[in-house]
Structure 1
Amino acid sequence: MDFALPRELQDYLARLDAFIDDTIRPLQARDDNERYFDHRREWARTDFERDGLPRPEWEALMAEAVRLADEAGFYRFSLPREYGGEDGGNLWMAVIREHLAAKGLGLFNDLQTEHSIVGNFPVIVMLRDFGSPEQKERYIRGALEGGFHLSFGLTEPEHGSDATFMATRAVPEAREGRAGWRIDGEKMWTTGMHTASHCVVFARTEGKDGDARGITAFLVPSDTPGVRVEEYLWTFNMPTDHPRVSFTDVWVADEAVFGEPGGGLALAQAFVHENRIRQAASSLGAAVYCIEESVRYARDRTVFGQDLSRNQAIQFPLVELATQAEMLRLLIRKTAWEMDQMPHPEVERRLSDKVSMCNYWANRLCCEAADRAMQVHGGIGYSRHKPFEHIFRHHRRYRITEGSEEIQMRKVAAYLFGYMGPRKNAVPAPTPRSSTPAKPRMVEAAQ
């Protein structure tokens, strides 16, 4: 058993660091671009007079960083080689994501917007695995070249984790001699809709509420008549690009069906494991950043004539966080490595509980580490002159999104108690209880 990182991966991280130092940091320092990362961050990034949306110049800066990373050969690392990538696996991506997040905030990796110079491509994975040949040809190229941007319409105002109870409906309807579908409903948290060319809309097409089957995904152009952004939902961490969107008498042709009719939930879950393990690694990296910055500050800060770090009240909470980070890193890398050893469909059947363990615990750990960093740094830690409050506000969302931690703990419990997963046939069924109460045992008193 060898826990050492492969030499090739270590070399890759070194090249990545050199690219950041030589190309991305100078771009961040140019033309007052630092305003997006200091205590004025939200005002610089957020257009409060335009529904709280990201400012176009902020999004343009991220796009320029991505362009440079793509030219340097880093951005598409996780993609298959047929799309210009390097077939980067889950282990490498987990290590890279932790490495970048542990550097703190910067143009090289800004998790608030899911921006990174090493990209994550769930949309392309979805198109590759579920798209028709025409959809693959048109939209994968468009996603890589910038003409195709996709938002995701699954959650609804009255339905979040209970997606099988969604109220949005699609019914067959022909118009002008073309077969198609009429969609009516409403979606929440359709992230990126302000720039999206299309929205993946999930709607029930058959079956009854609660059925996993019968939900179909549709690729709906965002400018289709009847698609309306009702409001942008302001969040704990701004800017916001998470609107509530209504779909009223929206018609699309049959060609808009994405994946198997009635099998839309499989599409929604297809990339969740890759997303969750990588996001867990990012939360771990951000937690490590908070821990290390707190240690550094405590060694430098003098209180009552000695280093702040001499106090056990400072030491012990950071010791516990560092211990958890060390254990979590091993679980994340082991799980990512195991994911790389099996076909993707097998992950759901054999490893889904471990992915959930990594994700919900990493997100919780990051919030605890950011909170402790604020406490160790005192007043300056609570201020926006330090990044900890920003890290807390951003990573707090992940305890709800990507599957709330309660949903993920329920998945772990289902595997643990044998309701699903590899232990399903290994855990014995409970013994039926007799309906006749047992007679009390009479014990004679000793003479």
Structure 2
Amino acid sequence: MIRLSFAYLRDRALNTALNILLLALGVASLVILLLFSSQLESRFDRDAQGIDMVVGAKGSPLQLILSSVYHVDIPTGNVPLDTVALLRRQLGVAEAVPLALGDSFRSFRIIGTEPAYPKLLGADIAAGRMFAAPMEAVIGAEVARRTGAGLGQRFVGGHGMSTKESGGDEGPKHEETPFIVVGQLGPTGTVIDRLILTQVQSVWQMHGIASPEAAHDDEHHEGETAKEHEAHVSPAEVTAVLVRFGSPIAAVRLPGFINRQTNLQAAVPAVEVSRLLALVGVGLDAVRGFAVLLMLTSGLSIFVALLTALKEREADMAMLRVIGASRAAIIGQVVSEGLILAGAGAALGLILGHGVIAIAAANIEQLAQLGLSGLSFHPGEAIIVAAALTIGLIAALIPAIRVLQADIAETLANAR
């Protein structure tokens, strides 16, 4: 009966291919949405682990989170270096880690920070050591893989945060202040894999900004007053400060205090990511509804195709019953056609869904940065496949029952 089902499907090859393709498009759409939403949410959670609050310049809180936690946007501005000390003095703050952004190397961002930053994200040194002096750099696993950089490698950063879309071209190069790689982090599956870490002083040095200690120790220029000397020295700033709370009280009190009482801005990653996913979710729900409708339409198409085909094959079905085929065998033959169509559509849909995710991640830098992968599988895909097979089963049962209800003698008489 299975061989007979394949023979009938081959006999109407074009109709079979169209039904499979229609169902595959619905399955692929659902798979793409499932992989995108699940991997996006998972990556957001991993990248923000250990970070309870971000403090930066006034502006969009979402932009502050995207630029300082996920490193996929431009910063809102800089804040005074005193902000770090201010936050560390606050009751309930367990850790405050500064970030200085603004430069990159081959589309990978150079981050001025402290050794506490990789520890915050659970990253460990896999080779070499942590930076201990200005212009020493520690590279993430993805940076090492894609640039081929290793310990002892020297490189020059460029101004600006370039992307693959811009050709990976940075702005003016800081030729006079090259970096040297002294360490490499092990892979973590988080944003730190694609970052280059160095001291905050390195970023200041690249831009001709004296550290507070150096500015204080410098002798005044001849004829300058202390006030005039301070005016011509660029202030030492950082881009943002990542904060980890030590008590629930700080989580309740500190963000509101900073936003109301200071010129700074405090943003909580969990809150902003929830808002972002809610906004994205509206669009995803609409596309998901369309995909479900597409699958139901494909089920209706399979039903119509089988009903039409069985009407043409009524004499064949009647002859099978005459030569001894059981009712179960007849139903099994018809149902197998529906399941074969549904199974082929589901398999093709899975391939298309994962293929689209893989191609998008390979060609869209932002998606690659968010960690999207076509090689990851989600348990929910099994539910999608089961739904597709159920649609095929239901679409085939009604025509199968109709065949059994037909009068054999009348059918054979009409066929003569």
TM-score range, shorter chain: under 0.3
Bigger Rg, which one: 2
What TM-score, normalized to structure 1? Answer: 0.25
Higher helix share: 2
**Larger RCO (alpha carbons 8 Å, 6+ apart):** 2
The normalised TM-score by structure 2 is 0.26
